[in-house]
Amino acid sequence: MSAKQTDQTGRVVNEFLGSAEIFTSAVSDLLEDELEALSEKKVTFSQMKLLKMVSIAEDYTVSNVAQFLGVSTAAASRAVDRLVRRGLVRRTEAAADRRVVQLSLTADGAELLERYDASAQRALHQVFGALPPEQLKQASEFLDRLSVSIVEQHDSERAVCFRCGIHFRDRCLLRKVRRDQCFFHARGRETKGTERAD
């Protein structure tokens, strides 16, 4: 629109952001299709994220789900409720603090997640398998640098959590810049991967 936007640098930046947006949405579409192909009964992508998260540890709570999924606790509570009703997730009162509800997968939930993971990995391998890992690593690092720089400059007072542990990533970027704001770090928990210090 403005003169700035047609300016050379601005245009390149916008093209790049467009590429990134298109890419992530293409990946989402791909994975959602895998999900549909799997279709037990309608399971949504966000619900699968929830299952994945719950599978990581035995003591995750509704609040944790909200942080991870980036939704309100009200929404998280209802999302959990839906999965409980479908017999995929189990609620347990925490012994230590009876206010909190601990979540775990049922056998059905674990089995569904297992099958989804397998088919998702297969689909991703089909697309990315032929690429040289170094190229992917290089791209990861470039994007990570930018993300960190956004958080550092942006620096809004609000607590940001990248929810790195969910879905794709074992390490949390925020550990590098906000050790106190990363959910995983706050819990002092490592996920399944090996954490490489920066």
Partner DNA sequence: GAAGATTGATTGTTCAATCTTG
Partner DNA sequence: CAAGATTGAACAATCAATCTTC
Contact set with DNA (CB under 7 A): 46, 61-64, 70-75, 77-82, 91, 97-101
Interacting residues with a copy of itself between 13 and 72 (CB under 8 A): 13-27, 29-30, 33, 55
Q: Please state the closest distance from residue 159 (CB atom) to a copy of itself, in A.
A: 12
Q: Please state the closest distance from residue 27 (CB atom) to a copy of itself, in A.
A: 6
Q: Please state the closest distance from residue 79 (CB atom) to DNA, in A.
A: 5
Q: Please state the closest distance from residue 138 (CB atom) to a copy of itself, in A.
A: 9
Residue 93 or 198: which CB sits closer to DNA?
Answer: 93
Q: Please state the closest distance from residue 85 (CB atom) to DNA, in A.
A: 10
Q: Count the residues of the shown chain that bind a copy of itself, applying the rule CB under 8 A.
A: 70
Q: What is the distance of C-alpha 90 from the center of its chain?
A: 21
Q: Which does 59 bind (CB under 5 to 8 A by kind): DNA, a copy of itself, none?
A: none
Round to whole Å and give the CA distance between 72 and 4. Answer: 37
CA distance readout (Å), 4 to 34, 61, 149, 154, 195: 41, 47, 22, 21, 42
Which region holds residue 185: left if phi is over 0, alpha if psi is between -120 and 50, else beta?
alpha
Interacting residues with a copy of itself between 66 and 95 (CB under 8 A): none
The contact set with a copy of itself (CB under 8 A) reads 1-2, 4-6, 8-27, 29-30, 33, 55, 113-114, 117-118, 121-122, 124-129, 133, 135-137, 139-144, 146-147, 149-151, 153-154, 156, 160, 162, 164, 167-171, 173, 192-193
